[in-house]
Amino acid sequence: MTIHAQAIRKLAPANYLLIEEEHVRLGKLLHDLHETCCNLDNLLSCHSCSSAKIASCRGRLPSYIHDLIDLIDMHFYHEESIMLSRPQVTVEYKYFRTHRQAHDNIMQELKSIAGECNSLDKLERTAEGYRHFYKKISDLFEEHDRCFDDPFIQSTKV
């Protein structure tokens, strides 16, 4: 994450601010999952919580998933637009195509994750749904930053 933060500063100020703000929003959304589910960092079920708390968690899970998909969809659009605004980058450019393909793959993956979380919730395994959501999203974006965003941002130095 440190390398990512350093690399990002090399972008034009407006682009830097936009990408930084969206990465912060993604981090905040993941952080909010901790505020909601008491069992995110353990393996307990919802039986350790009151029925009111369980109802609130169940109600909020679909909103988190919906907000995340919206945020990521917009973020990928912005990132691709910023890439294409660079002089040497076109839609045919290999690194643009592979990066965009990775975004498309993540969007597909997000839809699968959403379905898996809903299924867990329907089985009253809501805490497991939260943990699944948190872990999958964290891993996906850690890998994406390392493989695509960081190298792209580093390339804006030249």
For the record, the structure tokens of 94 come out as 């290999």
Minimum Å distance from CB 61 to Fe ion?
Answer: 24
Nearer to Fe ion by C-beta: 55 or 74?
Answer: 74
For residue 33, the minimal CB distance to Fe ion (Å) is 19
Q: How far is the CB of 25 from Fe ion (least distance, A)?
A: 11
Interaction residues for Fe ion, span 129-148 (CB under 5 A)? 148
How far is it, in rounded angstroms, from Cα 57 to Cα 78?
Answer: 31
Cα–Cα distance between 109 and 88 in angstroms, integer?
Answer: 30
**Which is nearer to Fe ion, 96 or 148 (by Cβ)?**
148
**Helical (H) or strand (E) element with 51:** helix 51-84
Rule CB under 5 A: choose which of 121, 128, 149, 150 binds Fe ion. Answer: 149
* Cβ-Cβ contacts under 8 Å for 123 (sequence gap 6 or more): none
Q: What angle do CA 140, 142, 148 make, to 5 degrees?
A: 90
Tokens for 68?
């995340």
Binding mask 77-116 for Fe ion (x = CB under 5 A): --x-------------------------------------
- Cβ count within 10 A of residue 82: 20
- Please identify, using beta-carbon distances, which residue of 134 and 148 lies nearer to Fe ion: 148
Residue whose CB is less far from Fe ion, 103 or 131: 103
- Contact positions vs Fe ion (CB under 5 A): 79, 148-149
